[in-house]
């Protein structure tokens, strides 16, 4: 099963992306379904069911307090000349700390990753000029929310795009 660890975006924040999505459609970009918006803390890739259960058991040892996450500005990976992923920046020391705890906990079994806090909003399959779009929304504030949980999620790749399901949710203390 294909799995990752993520923070879900609350519905009130998801709604703030609707006007942006109308513009993304005009540019023929593959926008992420608002209900699927999440911030990936760690991508596990393909794992066995046994490994997924073990990871969930290990993650139960993580303790964190609720923290705020601010979503602001638009950028892209790998660069503006050849964009492949359009994302919103996430400002949150709590996200970085949680990601570090997860990486440390799972380091024996999974490669340690550098964490760049971001919220993917679209994937880009063909060459498109997004310079004006990025400049227009670069300082837009999408809001702040309090992160009170994270999830282990399964991703099933379908022709229509990925379908996500929650395997286990972990709550702040």
pTM of the shown model: 0.92
pLDDT in tens, 78-127: 988 889 999 999 999 999 999 999 999 999 999 888 899 999 999 888 88
Q: Span 2-171: which CATH code? A: 3.90.1140.10
Task: Using the structure block, give the residue that is written with the tokens 């705020």.
Answer: 68
Domain spans in the chain, listed from the N-terminal domain onward: 2-171
DSSP annotation of 84? S
How many other C-beta atoms lie within 10 A of the C-beta of residue 22? 10
Catalytic residue positions, numbered: 38, 118
Q: Where is 45: in which H helix or E strand? A: strand 38-46
In terms of Cα–Cα distance, which of 120, 119, 126 is closest to 95? 119
DSSP annotation of 137? H
Rg, Å, the chain Cα set = 16
Write phi, then psi, for 118 (nearest 5 degrees): -155, 160
pLDDT in tens, 27-64: 778 888 888 999 999 999 999 999 999 999 999 999 99
């Amino acid at each position: 099963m294909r799995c990752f660890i993520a923070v879900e975006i609350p519905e009130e924040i998801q709604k703030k992306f609707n006007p942006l999505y109308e513009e993304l459609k005009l540019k023929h970009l593959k926008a992420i379904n608002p209900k699927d918006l999440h911030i990936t803390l760690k991508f596990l890739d393909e794992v066995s069911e046994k490994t997924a259960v073990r990871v969930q058991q290990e993650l139960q040892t993580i303790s964190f307090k609720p923290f705020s996450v601010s979503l602001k500005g638009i950028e892209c990976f790998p660069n503006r000349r050849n964009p492949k992923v359009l994302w919103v920046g996430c400002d949150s020391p709590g996200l970085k700390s949680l990601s570090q705890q997860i990486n440390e906990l799972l380091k024996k079994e999974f490669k340690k990753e550098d964490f760049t806090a971001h919220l993917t909003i679209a994937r880009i399959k063909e060459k498109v000029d997004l310079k004006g779009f990025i400049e227009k929304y670069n300082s837009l504030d999408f809001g702040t929310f309090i992160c009170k949980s994270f999830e282990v999620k399964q991703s099933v790749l379908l022709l229509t795009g990925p379908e996500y399901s929650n395997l286990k949710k972990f709550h702040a203390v």
